Amino acid sequence: MVIGKRIKLVSCEHALDAVAGYTVLNDISAREFQFDVSPAQTMFAKSMDGLCPLGPWIVTRDEIPDPQSIALKLWVNGELLQDGNTRDMIFDVARLIEYFSAFMTLEPGDVIATGTPAGVGAFRAPPRWLQPGDRLRLEFSQSGRLEHSIG
């Protein structure tokens, strides 16, 4: 979700009023840097250049009246590997905004990434790692698609 106005300590009931819109974000992790030390370094492994493609569109909040009914899909080299829906989220969008705004001021343009459906390569048996040249396509039901390759 993309935040549209400055908020702090917003209630769940008013949290969606702060949303400007929604977009696709590919939360890629450099697993070799995430799990090479203990405890795992999730933030570092997700913060390198090229690891968080975003967009290409923001769908405004009025176009998505229910953020808990968005279909999410990911293809790698044309093979569907993730197929989920925001209704399966552990915490819904409003609850996430309420929680984060309790600890930090959210500003217009801030992006909250919510996680990913089942099927992440590192947790497949056997693991399936992205390779240079792999083509990824991500879609959510009310938006266009995000396509990119692994460099």
Q: How does residue 3 score in pLDDT terms, banded at 50, 70 and 90?
A: very high
The model's pLDDT over 68-124, given as tens digits with 9 standing for 90+, comes to 999 999 999 999 999 999 999 999 999 999 999 999 999 999 999 987 888 888 788
Number of domains within the chain: 1
Return the pLDDT at 62.
95
The model's pLDDT over 126-146, given as tens digits with 9 standing for 90+, comes to 989 999 999 999 998 877 799
CATH label of the domain that carries residue 54: 3.90.850.10
Nearest C-alpha neighbor of 54 from the set 139, 149, 136, 146 = 146
Beta-carbon contacts of residue 50 (< 8 Å; ≥ 6 apart): 28, 151
Strand, coil or helix: 66: coil
The model's pLDDT over 39-67, given as tens digits with 9 standing for 90+, comes to 777 777 777 787 889 998 899 999 998 99
Eight-class DSSP state of 143: S
Beta-carbon contacts of residue 143 (< 8 Å; ≥ 6 apart): 22, 23, 24, 57, 59
- pTM here? 0.87
In angstroms, rounded to a whole number, what is the distance separating the alpha carbons of residues 72 and 59? 14
Tell me the residue range of the domain where 75 lies: 2-149
